[in-house]
Structure 1
Amino acid sequence: MRALLIVNPFATSTTDAGRDALADTLSAKIDLSVELTTHRGHAGEIAARARAQGCPIVIVHGGDGTVNEVVNGLLDAPGDPIGPNPAPALAVIPGGSANVFARSLGIDPDPMKATAQLLTLLAERSRRRISLGHLSAEAPKRPGSTPSPAAASGRWFLFNAGMGVDAEVVASIEDQRNAGKPASDARYIATTVRRFISASRRPPQLSVSLPGRDTIDDVHFVFVCNANPWTFIGPRPVWTNPDTTYECGLGVFASSSMSVTRNLGIFTQLLTGRKPHARHVLTDDDVASVRLTARAPTDVQMDGDYVGKATTAAFGCVSDRLEVVAPPLSA
C-alpha cells in the first residue's frame, strides 16, 4: 500500500520527535513518502501533485487549516467538472490545537494513538464518503480591505464556516498567534467573551436567506456547519446543529440577540447536545444552501481560518464529495 504523508511542522501540537515516531510507525506497514510544508498554501500544492501522480492515499499530520488546504488541493474547485485523475482518499493524524475535523470523524486526538488507529483502518479498508461545503463570497469594494474572501471563493470547507463574531474570534486568535502567543482553550474562551461583548454594542448587520423561506433580517452572527459537533472546547463538544452530519446538507445557526441574559440558556444547550431553541435563534438542518448579506463588510471564517471581510457570502453543499479513511458510522 502506497501513501503520502503531508506534515505541517509548524502546527500547534506537532514536534520533530513526534513526526519521526509516527512516520516510522507508518513506514513499517506501508510504502510511505513524507513531505513537509514550508509556507501557506504549500499543503495544497503537494496534494495536487499527489493526485496528478496517482497517489492512492494522502495522510495529513497537522491542524484543521492544513487539512483544508490539502482537500482543496486534492479536489477540483466547486462547480468545475471533475478531472480525469481520481482524488486520493484522505486520512488525518491530528496535529493542531482543536483538530475538529479528525475528531468529528472519530479519530483519536492523540497523534500516536491516531497513527495506530489509522493502520487498523487501512488494514480493514474502512472508508467513508462525506459531503463538503463550499463558499462563494463578494469582497467589499473599497481599498485596503485585505485579506479578501475572494481567495476563499470557490473553495471547499470541511466542517464549519461563519460570518460575524465567530470570524472575529478567529481573526483575533490568528493575530495573537502571529504575535507569539500560543493557542489554548483558555485563550479561545477569553477572546470569545471579549469579542461577544464588543459585538453586543453594535446593531445587527446580517440578513439570512434560505431556500423556500422568507429572508430574515437583523441578525448578529451566523454559523454554517457541515457536520457535528461545530467545534470543541478541550474534550467537550459544542453542538450548534446536532442533526447535521456529513451525510446530509448544511446546518444553520443564527442569532438576532447578543444579550448575555438571553443567551445563557443557549450556551448551556450548545454544550449538552440538545437542539438549541429560543425565540431569537434560528436553526435549520439539511439545507442545500444559505446566502448571507451584510450591511457593512463583515468578517468570514472557514474551518477555523480567517478569510477576510465580505458583504455577501453564499454557502452550498455537495454530497459524497470526498473519500476519507475513518471508522464506520456505527463505531
Structure 2
Amino acid sequence: MSKIPDIRFIINPTSGTKSKVDVAARIKLHLNHQKYSHEIVYTAYAGHAPDLAREAAEQGCSIVVAVGGDGTVNEVARGLLNTDTAMAILPKGSGNGLARHLLVPMDLEGALRVLNEGHISSIDSGSINGHPFVTTAGIGFDAYISSVFAGNKKRGLQSYVELVLKEVRTYKHLPVKASINGSVLDTDCYVMAFANAAQYGNNAYIAPEADIQDGLLDVCLVRRLDLIKALNLSYSMLTNQLAHSDSAEYFKTKHVQVETEEPMMYHADGEYMGKTATFDVHIQPLSLKVVTPQISQR
C-alpha cells in the first residue's frame, strides 16, 4: 500500500474560471516538498469535495487544502468537521470570505507560504437546519440575493452591490418570531444573518465584531430596509462600520430558533438552501482545525 500523503489538495476546476494560473504547477513550485508529501485531486461535481475531504481525514492526511471559492471551502470544511485533519485554503473564488477573515493571502504564492509554515488553530463552525457553515448563514433578503446571484454570470463585489440595489426596491420584510438567549422577539425581518466570521466575502462586513473562536454567533437583524437605508447599509458593510449602523441590531448567542408565518429563503455560506418556516441555528465551538497565519493556538 502506498504511503498516505501529508496533504491532499482538492481543486474545484470551475472556480476562478477567468484565471489562467496553473495551480498544480504553482503547488509544485512553491510547496515545501522536504516538509510535505502531497496529492492533487479534482472535484467532478457539486457536493464531491466533502467526500474527498472526509476520505483524506479517514486515511490520516494531516491537511486538506480547499482550492476554490467559498462553496469549495464550505464543502471541504463539512468533510473535516470534528476530525484531527486541518483545512487550508488556496483562495480562487470571487468572495473568499473565510480566507479573508483568517488573513490568508489572496495570491497563491502567499497562501502556499502560510501552508508551508503549518500553523494550526481551531475555529468554530455553525449549523442552520443541519447544514454546516463556516462564515455566515441567513434568512430573508441575503438568502434571496444568494439565490439570484448563483445564476449571475458576473461575479465580484461590484456585481453583488448592483444586484442588492436593484432587488431591494421590491423585496418585502416579513414577520418572524425569534428565540434568542431565553427571550422571544416578535419582529419584522428583512435580513437575519447568523455570523460566525465577520464578513460575507470581498471585505463586505456583516458582523465586524464577530470572533470565530468565541463559541458564539453574532446575529445581525435588519428589520426594514428601503433604498436609502440600503445605500447606507452597503456603505457601512464596505467600510467595516455595520455594528454602528442605525439599520442593524446585534445579538450574541449560542443558539437561535426562528419561526416565520410563511416560508422564507435561507442560505449557508452564500449557497441558497431553499425555503422553510422554521430555523434552528447553533454554534459548534472549535469544531474545525485550520491552517492560518493569524489565529492563536487553542
Q: TM-score, normalised by structure 1?
A: 0.81
Paired position in structure 1 for 2:210: 244
Which residue, out of 180, 183, 195, partners 1:225?
195
| Distance (whole Å) between structure 2 residues aligned to residue 61 and residue 27 of structure 1 | 17
The answer as to 2:277 corresponding to 1:301 is no
What secondary structure is seen at the aligned counterpart in 1 of 2:144?
helix
CA deviation vs aligned residue, 1:50-71 (integer Å, no higher than 9, x gap): 1111111111111111111111
CA deviation vs aligned residue, 1:297-322 (integer Å, no higher than 9, x gap): 21111111111111111110021111
What secondary structure is seen at the aligned counterpart in 1 of 2:159?
helix
Structure 2 matches for 1:1-331, cutoff 5 A?
A: 2-13=6-17, 17-25=21-29, 26=31, 28-29=33-34, 30-75=36-81, 86-119=83-116, 121-122=117-118, 126-136=119-129, 154-176=130-152, 181-199=153-171, 202-232=172-202, 237-248=203-214, 249-274=216-241, 276-277=243-244, 281-285=248-252, 287-329=253-295
| Distance (whole Å) between structure 1 residues aligned to residue 63 and residue 105 of structure 2 | 19
With 127-136 and 292-301 compared, the bigger mean Cα shift is at 292-301
**Structure 1: runs of 5 or more not aligned:** 77-85, 137-153
Are residues 191 and 47 of structure 1, via their aligned partners in 2, closer, same or farther at CA, if it must alter by over 3 Å?
A: same
What secondary structure is seen at the aligned counterpart in 1 of 2:206?
coil
| Distance (whole Å) between structure 2 residues aligned to residue 247 and residue 155 of structure 1 | 19
With 107-116 and 271-280 compared, the bigger mean Cα shift is at 271-280
Instruction: Report the residue type matching 2:137 in the other structure.
Output: A
Contact 2:66 2:72 in 1 (8 A): yes
What secondary structure is seen at the aligned counterpart in 2 of 1:38?
coil
What secondary structure is seen at the aligned counterpart in 1 of 2:243?
coil
| Distance (whole Å) between structure 2 residues aligned to residue 170 and residue 214 of structure 1 | 28
What secondary structure is seen at the aligned counterpart in 1 of 2:198?
coil
What secondary structure is seen at the aligned counterpart in 1 of 2:105?
coil
| Distance (whole Å) between structure 2 residues aligned to residue 281 and residue 103 of structure 1 | 23
CA drift of 1:27 comes to 6.5
CA deviation vs aligned residue, 1:120-151 (integer Å, no higher than 9, x gap): x22xxx11110111111xxxxxxxxxxxxxxx
CA drift of 1:18 comes to 2.4
| Distance (whole Å) between structure 1 residues aligned to residue 137 and residue 70 of structure 2 | 12
**Structure 2: runs of 5 or more not aligned:** none
Contact 1:224 1:252 in 2 (8 A): yes
Instruction: Report the residue type matching 1:282 in the other structure.
Output: E
Residue correspondences, number: 289
Contact 2:161 2:234 in 1 (8 A): no
Contact 1:239 1:273 in 2 (8 A): yes
With 127-136 and 27-36 compared, the bigger mean Cα shift is at 27-36
Paired position in structure 2 for 1:79: none
CA deviation vs aligned residue, 1:158-215 (integer Å, no higher than 9, x gap): 0101101111111111122xxxx2423232112111221121xx35243322122232
Paired position in structure 2 for 1:143: none
CA drift of 1:93 comes to 0.6
Are residues 225 and 39 of structure 1, via their aligned partners in 2, closer, same or farther at CA, if it must alter by over 3 Å?
A: same
CA drift of 1:277 comes to 4.1
Contact 1:127 1:328 in 2 (8 A): no
Instruction: Report the residue type matching 2:147 in the other structure.
Output: A
Are residues 267 and 95 of structure 1, via their aligned partners in 2, closer, same or farther at CA, if it must alter by over 3 Å?
A: closer
Q: Sequence identity of aligned pairs in percent?
A: 26
| Distance (whole Å) between structure 2 residues aligned to residue 116 and residue 131 of structure 1 | 24
Instruction: Report the residue type matching 1:223 in the other structure.
Output: A
| Distance (whole Å) between structure 1 residues aligned to residue 235 and residue 18 of structure 2 | 32
Instruction: Report the residue type matching 2:121 in the other structure.
Output: R
What secondary structure is seen at the aligned counterpart in 2 of 1:175?
coil
Q: TM-score, normalised by structure 2?
A: 0.89
With 108-117 and 41-50 compared, the bigger mean Cα shift is at 108-117
Instruction: Report the residue type matching 2:59 in the other structure.
Output: Q
| Distance (whole Å) between structure 2 residues aligned to residue 12 and residue 292 of structure 1 | 35
Instruction: Report the residue type matching 1:4 in the other structure.
Output: R
Contact 1:3 1:59 in 2 (8 A): yes
Are residues 167 and 218 of structure 1, via their aligned partners in 2, closer, same or farther at CA, if it must alter by over 3 Å?
A: same
